[in-house]
Amino acid sequence: MKNQTRQQIPRFQAVIFDLDGVLAETETVSFQILKKYIEPHSVDWDDYEKLIGKGSKSFAEWLKTHFDFEGTVDEIQNNANTFRVEQIEQMHVPGMPGAAELLQSLKERHVKLAVASQSDIRWVRSVLQTSDLLQYFDSIVTSDEVDKPKPAPDIYLKAAKILETPISACLAFEDSLIGIDSAINAGIFTIQLRQSAPPPPFAETANLVVDSFPEFMRLAKLKASN
């Protein structure tokens, strides 16, 4: 591991999580849904990987540019989001290994918890519900609620404000480089989780890089009650 993976974790009162690829292993699921949505067109993983972390509006713009989808970008965005939610509601998406244990441990310590996601609110709630993680969170903030999506800091700044917690007392968990830039731009101590398969590119700018939630729990000396 690189030296930055051992940076000391500061004292914190709140933790803000990205969703896709962090709390739940949704990237491969999203890829399969995308392939189904754009039929008879096709897409490979390399192209999809460029979209990770960018949000549904950027995705709609990509569809318009690459496949000349009919309608405005807003119409394409809404149609694609609806399709994704309808698909995910028929699936069971497990939480990322160690996610429930970490969230339980944090709740026992009265740490405030929020989700800050680029995805549509319907997708976020559906994924959290099917992965049995929704119960842990005090707030959910999506890019539709802020002026600028990630990598702008807006979504993290709003989440911290809702949690009534200073930025200096927050931690953020992200996987994509875009998401990490967003949290870093907000001034939050940012942890890259590289637990998804395949793992995201290593983030040189993250304050801490871990390969799993259990690794973070060991570093932070957290343990959930049985």
Q: Pick the residue with more confidence: 221 or 133?
A: 133
Closest C-alpha among 111, 104, 86 to residue 169: 111
**Edge-to-edge strand ranges of the sheet holding 208-210:** 139-142, 112-117, 14-17, 170-174, 189-193, 208-210
Q: Pick the residue with more confidence: 48 or 116?
A: 116
At 106, which amino acid appears?
Answer: L
Residue 1 has pLDDT above 60, yes or no: no
pLDDT-based confidence at residue 5 (cuts at 50, 70, 90): very low
pTM, two decimals, is 0.85
- Using N-to-C axis directions, what is the helix angle for 177-186 and 154-162, rounded to 10°? 60
Percent of the chain with pLDDT over 90: 58
- At 30 the pLDDT is 82
- At 226 the pLDDT is 46
pLDDT-based confidence at residue 104 (cuts at 50, 70, 90): very high
Tell me how far apart the terminal alpha carbons of the chain are, to the nearest angstrom.
Answer: 31
- At 3 the pLDDT is 39
- What single-letter DSSP state applies at residue 20? B
Residue 97 has pLDDT above 90, yes or no: yes
DSSP string covering 148-205: S-TTSSHHHHHHHHHTT--GGGEEEEE-SHHHHHHHHHHT-EEEEE--SSSPPPP-TT
Least confident range from 50-64, 89-103, 114-128: namely 50-64
State pLDDT tens for residues 175-225.
999 999 999 999 999 999 999 888 999 999 999 999 999 999 999 988 655
Average pLDDT for residues 68-96, to the nearest whole number?
Answer: 86
- At 2 the pLDDT is 43
- At 224 the pLDDT is 58
How far apart (Å, rounded) are the C-alpha atoms in residues 84 and 186? 29
Residue 124 has pLDDT above 90, yes or no: yes
- At 178 the pLDDT is 94
State pLDDT tens for residues 135-159.
999 999 998 899 999 999 999 999 9
CA dihedral 15, 222, 111, 185 (to 10 degrees): -20
State pLDDT tens for residues 18-66.
999 999 988 788 888 888 888 888 888 888 877 776 777 888 888 888 8
